[in-house]
Amino acid sequence: MPCTTLLVGKKASNDGSTVIARTDDGFFDEKKLIVVDAKKQPKKYKSVISHLEIKLPDHPMRYTASPSIDKKNGIWAACGINEANVGMTATETITSNPRVMGADPYVVYQKAKTRKEKDIIGGLGEEDYVVLVLPYIHNAREGVIRLASLLEEYGTYEPNGIAFNDADEVWWMETIGGHHWIAKKVKDDSYVVMPNQFGLDNFDLEDAFGEQKENMCSKDLKEFIEKNHLDLNQNGTFNPRYVFGSRSDADHIYNTPRAWYMGRYFNPTTYKWDGENADFKPESDNIPWSLVPEKKITIEDVKYILSSYYQGTPYNPYAKADNPLKGIYRPIGISRTGVTGILQIRGYMPKEIQGIEWICFGSNAFNAALPVYANTDKMPDYLSDVTMDVSTENFYWSSRLIEALADANYGSCIQLIERYQSTIANKGHQLLNEYDRKMMDQKDYSFIAEANEKLSEMAKKETTNTLNKVLKEASKNMKNGYSRADN
């Protein structure tokens, strides 16, 4: 699924949190935020797409999830935080190349053509990963290890990147062909940008086959590379992007511009990003996977960059100027996003309130990020009670209505959107601070449900207010308006 991922190490964030965030860019997928009760989790799992059945481990944990409302293609849980304060987002659809695919083909479901034949069961994919991994891991590293074992046993039918975080670490994992994988710990002082393309541009094979402090991979990765002549590196260096990734014309329009814009935002003076003599341009293949930001990164920074559409550049699709470059690159804050989860693990807080999930529905360019405490038995109805029918009684559909109206009336609505986003962020932080203090002072964490309800009530009030205003502006711009002064 075409998405954009941003990862932030604990020393790169403003408060020492680890953060993993991803836009889930399906095709206007209807989503909700729920809590999956440990007691209600099945003993067996069956994938809809690949028809694969897997026996699940005992003793699962509770976790949050953002599943699809329409289950015809499976659960698609997207992202969540479990009761051990481990976050997971899955997946960032990435790229590969024919040499890798020829050496280790995808495990694709194939329906039998005749009655005498049997179906060929497929492997795992984005539909499955969160459900199969998140309830069973106690830290980010364990997430890599569990998913790796599943990939090696069952394989996958698509190329994907997966992120895990706990209070101390962030890990990024990428699949290679049908059964192979590679994973790297994000440095504490760094952030990572991932725009639908194989990302890792550095990897320590010695560590991966030794202590595994910051690097892990398939046990036979060295042999796999050598046997299939995959290594394109020169001078003894090892850049996984050259070995397992892609470098296509499509990447230059769809993927690399997003990495360029994110790097340009967080490191504006570290490199030259614009002009003929730029170090990196929107179509550069060598934009770094990871950088140390020039300033600490906030949740608001994460939300802003995942909402962006090349503001301040000639590529902005909403620019008034008649510019041939306008809209030529795929935005980060694209129209068809279903859900964005910003998963924050606050290691400096008591374990009961470490996990905060900032939830956004619909296109990030026009929505707002609402924080909720993840360590709870139930999410407010405004976030979880969503059906396929449009309704202003939930955050998902209200966000979708705002985006459709505001996009068509960008000039008159964008200030309303910016005020809305700012208000939700301001009041969200205010309520978090209020309940953080209350729960720590009283050493009573039973207020989590109350806090989430207060946050949800605030979001409903502000979202309804903004929808009212945006609808009025859109109504003013209807083509069939007429008055005596019009003639």
pLDDT tens string 84-116: 999 999 999 999 999 999 999 999 999 999 989
Same domain for 215 and 66, yes or no, is yes
| pLDDT at 21 > cutoff 70 | yes
Same domain for 269 and 387, yes or no, is no
* pLDDT tens-digit map of 403-450: 999 999 999 999 999 999 999 999 999 999 999 999 999 999 999 999
Residue 375 inside a domain? The answer is no
- The residue behind tokens 């620019």 is 319
Residue 377 inside a domain? The answer is no
Which residue range(s) make up the domain with 392?
382-477
Distance CA 172, CA 215 (A): 10
At 189 the pLDDT is 98
Confidence of residue 1 (pLDDT cuts 50, 70, 90): low
Distance CA 159, CA 181 (A): 10
Residue 484 inside a domain? The answer is no
Confidence of residue 484 (pLDDT cuts 50, 70, 90): confident
- From 3, 217, 360, 413, active-site residue: 3
Look up the pTM and report it.
0.97
Partnered with residue 156 across adjacent β-strands are: 124
Same domain for 80 and 169, yes or no, is yes
* Of 331, 365, 399, the domain-final residue: 365
Same domain for 46 and 154, yes or no, is yes
Residue 483 inside a domain? The answer is no
Same domain for 227 and 263, yes or no, is yes
What is 466-483 written as a DSSP string? HHHHHHHHHHHT-TT---
How many domains, the chain?
A: 2
Please choose, from the candidates 136, 144, 201, the residue with its C-alpha nearest in 3D space to the C-alpha of residue 172: 144
| pLDDT at 197 > cutoff 80 | yes
Distance CA 277, CA 273 (A): 9
* Of 335, 365, 395, the domain-final residue: 365
Same domain for 333 and 472, yes or no, is no
* Of 340, 365, 390, the domain-final residue: 365
Same domain for 287 and 396, yes or no, is no
Same domain for 359 and 387, yes or no, is no
3 is catalytic: yes
At 77 the pLDDT is 98
Same domain for 274 and 404, yes or no, is no
Please choose, from the candidates 58, 2, 54, the residue with its C-alpha nearest in 3D space to the C-alpha of residue 26: 2
